Amino acid sequence: MNEYQLHNFTGVEFSVAFTTAIEERLDKHFIKDEVQEDLTFAYWRPSRAASRYTGIIYDLLLPEQDERILQGNVAFTHDYLERVLDSCPAESGIALIHSHLGPGWQDMSGDDIVAERDRLAGVVTGRTGLPLLGLTWSTDATWSARFWLRADRREYRRQWVTTVRSVGPCLRISYAPHLSPPPSKTERLVATRSVWGETTQDQLARTRVGIVGLGSVGSLVAEALSRTGLQRLVFIDNDVIEERNLDRTLGALWSDVTARTPKVDVAKRVADQSHTAEEFSVLTIAESLITPHGLAAALDCDVLISCVDRPWPTYILNKLAYLHLIPVIDGGIIARLGSSGSLLHIDWTIQTVGPGRACLLCLDALRRSDVALDREGSLDDPDYIQGLSSGEQERFQRRNVFAFSMSVAAHEILQLVGLISGNNRIGGTGPQRYRAYPGRMDVKSVGQCHPDCDISPLTATAVPIIADLQVEYGYLARQPPPSEALRTHQTKRRSFLRHVLAVIRGSMNRHHG
């Protein structure tokens, strides 16, 4: 498919994303003492989701002194354009970014249209196979943007971008007012607005948030978001309601057990009854995150809240946060029992990951060895789990109860509000770990990934997740059940691993004896 033809984008929403580090470089370039506009070219990569097409800007090619003409207005030279075209990396698009001398969302002047539509669109598309992306920066750092798609031979039409996202320790989103206007003010959210203010609430309401996992924690997160006035939610989970879920899943009924109602449908039913936004929609994906449909829906979101209890999908979310600039808020619960079955200790952790923050692996909130076990199916093998040490078993046993889940869900919501508002007094200053006894919250700094981390270098690369997984792990979504020979091989391998663990434990016991 040609990635620049107008007819291939019917019903698609457009977005642009870049890291806070890129935005800081642009601010430095555009903020001047004199009254003067400026411009620069940049390179971007496409990220296509179920219903959204995002241009992820990953590099700037700032102009040399003689490569643009500054006369109040600004124009680029032919030499500058040639340098940009010649240096363009493979599978990348070209963006023209220029400043306007005014605040707020900016429309285009006649000169802007001539420069982008007439001088650049055809040349850039012909060289890169991707549409020209144009952006305008205003004096209060509000962004407007558009793609130029080919409608006919030598005819390019402007498609306005709905959101421009600056992603880092905070998430700052500029909205096109004619495509995503601020929500109307109603009495339903008076108390909420009075706490963190109208600006934060307007931003929060328009943020598209996805919840991955709609069980004990996710069902509570969904209810909180609907009551907080969010307008667009995405629910992703392939599980159905079982009897064992009734004490932990908000809104689940006995009739859902007998009907095997998908968890996403239960969460939607509750949200449809409790939402406070006048315009409200929920997209339900009754599939695993690790399917083409599930991943595409996740990529449509501005923020993802991870409420899964398995290492493999958690790893995928961790990677997606950096590849596609979609922050992920993650939470987890560990309950430790004594030999008699009595409760010894409870911990829960909450952290936000993405550009400008340490990833889950570097925070030690996720282990590669656990991911490998989950991928090969060992975590679904009771015999394998039984063969682990008691400390190892605790990481994989699901002991969430409603009381614990309420605390994790509340802190995930607070981290979301803190991410959007930039107010550390709401979301805290970094990853949080709550120790139920003696009742203490430990807080880490946001931190950065380790120098040898292989996740942070992927930031803004927009690598398609499914293709990446196939290359790295040989994983194919919706793959058929394993053959009898493969099942036999997996059983033998697990038996061998259990034998090795038994030998190691025996050796350790003899040593300590």
pLDDT range class, residue 386, cuts 50, 70, 90: low
> At residue 470, does pLDDT exceed 80?
no
Give 375's pLDDT tier (boundaries 50, 70, 90).
Answer: confident
Average the pLDDT over 381-389 and give the result. 57
Q: For 45-54, 461-470, 473-482, which range has the lowest pLDDT when averaged over its residues?
A: 473-482
pLDDT band (50, 70, 90) for residue 488: low
Per-residue pLDDT at 483: 46
Residues 85-95, buried b or exposed e (16+ Cβ, 10 A)? Answer: eeebeeebbbb
- Does residue 475 surpass a pLDDT of 90? no
Q: Report the alpha-carbon distance of residue 503 to residue 395 in Å, rounded.
A: 22
pLDDT of residue 404 exceeding 60, the answer is yes
More confident residue, 333 or 167: 167
Name the region of 76 (left: φ>0; alpha: ψ -120 to 50; beta: rest). Answer: beta
CATH architecture observed for domain 196-364+400-447: 3-Layer(aba) Sandwich (3.40)
Residue 510 pLDDT: 45
pLDDT for 476 beyond 60: no
- If one compares 494 and 145, the residue with the highest pLDDT of the two is 145
497, pLDDT greater than 60: no
Nearest to 23 by CA among 170, 187, 131: 170
Cβ-count burial 136-158 (b if 16+ within 10 Å, e if not) = bbbeeebbbbbbbbbeeeeebeb
How is residue 240 annotated by DSSP?
B
Task: Give 146-194 as a 3 state SS string.
Answer: EEEEEEECCEEEEEECCEEEEECCCEEEEECCCCCCCCCCCHHHHHHHH
**HSE (side-chain half, CA atoms, 13 Å) at 27:** 12
Computed over every residue of the chain, the mean pLDDT equals 88
DSSP tag of 478 = T
Inter-residue contact 211 to 234 (CB < 8 Å): yes
Pairing of strands 93-99, 132-137: parallel
Query: Which residue type occupies 154?
Result: R
51-81 CB burial, b ≥16 within 10 A, e <16? ebbbbbbbbbbebeeebbeeeeebebeeebb
Angle of helix 311-323 relative to helix 465-473, nearest 10 degrees?
130
Q: How far, rounded to the nearest angstrom, does the alpha carbon of residue 251 sit from its chain's CA centroid?
A: 26
pLDDT band at 433 (very low <50, low <70, confident <90, very high): very high
Average pLDDT score over residue span 12-40: 95
**Number of neighbouring beta carbons within 10 Å of residue 182:** 14
Span of 64-78, 87-101, 391-405 with lowest mean pLDDT:
391-405
Q: How confident is the model at residue 30 (pLDDT cuts 50, 70, 90)?
A: very high
Q: What is the largest CA-CA distance in the chain?
A: 85
Domain boundaries, the chain: 6-175, 196-364+400-447
Asked whether the predicted pLDDT for residue 15 surpasses 80, the reply is: yes
- DSSP-derived secondary structure for 74-97: EEE-HHHHHHHHHHPPTT-EEEEE
pLDDT digits (tens, 9 = 90+) for 168-205: 999 999 999 999 999 999 999 999 999 999 999 999 99
What's the whole-model pTM score?
0.89
Specify the range with the lowest mean pLDDT, choosing from 62-66, 84-88, 307-311, 466-470.
Answer: 466-470
Can you give the pLDDT at residue 500?
47
pLDDT in the model for residue 474:
44
Residue 301 is predicted with a pLDDT of 98
How many helices (H) and strands (E) the chain has is answered by 17, 19
pLDDT tens-digit map of 308-335: 988 999 999 999 999 999 999 999 888 7
Which has the minimum average pLDDT: 99-113, 339-353, 458-472?
Answer: 458-472
* Residue 396 pLDDT > 60: no
Q: What percent of the chain has pLDDT over 90?
A: 74
- The architecture CATH gives domain 6-175: 3-Layer(aba) Sandwich (3.40)
- Residue 424 and residue 415: Cα distance in Å, rounded? 9
Give the pLDDT score at 401: 85
pLDDT band at 376 (very low <50, low <70, confident <90, very high): confident
pLDDT at 252 over 60: yes
pLDDT at res. 51: 96
Tell me what the mean pLDDT of segment 31-41 comes to: 91
**pLDDT mean over 127-149:** 97
Please state, in angstroms and rounded to a whole number, the distance separating the CA atoms of residues 502 and 185.
64
pLDDT grade, residue 486 (50/70/90)? very low
